[in-house]
């Protein structure tokens, strides 16, 4: 059996505020963020913070705080590269995508049971953006699911543990290609 195509996605399996591990921390900020969004101020605020994160002066303390609260083993260079790619995203696009996940995430998640192809889900056990509830949602809604939870990884295990990620992904592709999978 040949693999015709492969898709890499980060799905909104539900409203992200429902599974965000630090929901109690975020909750007080929701109304001010909605106010800024409604009044066109949010893009400027996000752009200001993202642009400042380009410098080692601002990024280094963020990196050390991130490592402390998450236990992540991601090297500074990978962390900087990842955040650099986030900074390069137009802030309006970022705001629109987050707003869409909040508004439509539950609806999208409920349609996941229509997926009839094998899915390989990779989740960091110390993910600071996606709580353990997402794993359960994926298990309940996807029929052909292979899931791997990475120890000592957060929201981007492919950058934190690239060799292990590539090994597991290669195994998944080989399994699908050979037709000998249990999924």
Give the rounded percent of residues in the chain with a pLDDT score beyond 90: 2
**pTM for the whole thing?**
0.63
pLDDT band (50, 70, 90) for residue 7: low
With beta carbons less than 8 A apart as the criterion, state whether 147 and 139 touch: yes
Q: What's the whole-number mean pLDDT along residues 13-30?
A: 69
pLDDT at 105 (0 to 100): 82
Q: How is the chain split into domains, by residue range?
A: 16-171
CA dist., res. 98 & res. 104, Å (int): 10
pLDDT of 126-166, one tens digit each?
Answer: 887 777 788 888 888 888 888 998 888 888 788 788 899 99
Given a cut of 60, whether residue 1 has pLDDT beyond it is no
Pseudo-torsion of CA 72, 74, 77, 78, nearest 10°? -110
Domain over 16-171 is classified CATH 3.40.50.300: no
pLDDT at 93 (0 to 100): 72
pLDDT at 22 (0 to 100): 62
- Collapsing DSSP states into helix, strand and coil, what is residue 172? helix
How distant, in Å, are the alpha carbons of 6, 39, 53 from that of 82? 22, 29, 11
pLDDT at 167 (0 to 100): 93
CA dist., res. 120 & res. 33, Å (int): 33
pLDDT of 52-64, one tens digit each?
Answer: 777 888 888 888 8
Q: What's the whole-number mean pLDDT along residues 88-109?
A: 75
What phi and psi values does residue 72 have, to the nearest 5 degrees?
Answer: -65, 150
Q: What's the whole-number mean pLDDT along residues 33-37?
A: 68
With beta carbons less than 8 A apart as the criterion, state whether 128 and 70 touch: yes
CA dist., res. 55 & res. 80, Å (int): 9
Mutual angle of helices 91-110 and 42-52, in 10-degree steps: 110
Cβ partners under 8 Å of residue 139, min gap 6 = 145, 147
């Amino acid at each position: 059996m040949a693999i015709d195509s492969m898709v890499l996605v980060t799905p909104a399996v539900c409203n992200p505020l429902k599974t965000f591990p630090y929901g109690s921390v975020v909750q007080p900020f929701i109304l001010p963020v909605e106010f800024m969004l409604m009044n066109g101020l949010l893009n400027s605020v996000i752009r200001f913070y993202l642009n400042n994160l380009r410098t080692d002066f601002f990024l280094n303390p963020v990196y050390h705080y991130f490592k402390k609260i998450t236990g992540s083993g991601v090297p500074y260079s990978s962390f900087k590269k990842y955040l650099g790619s986030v900074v390069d995203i137009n802030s309006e696009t970022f705001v629109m995508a987050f707003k869409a996940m909040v508004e439509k995430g539950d609806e999208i998640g409920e349609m996941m049971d229509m997926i009839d192809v094998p899915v390989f889900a990779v989740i960091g056990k110390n993910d600071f953006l996606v709580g353990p509830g997402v794993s359960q949602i994926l298990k309940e809604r996807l029929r052909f699911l292979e899931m791997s939870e990475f120890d000592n990884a957060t929201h981007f295990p492919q950058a934190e543990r690239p060799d292990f990620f590539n090994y597991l992904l290669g195994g998944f592709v080989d399994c699908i290609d050979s037709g000998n999978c249990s999924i």
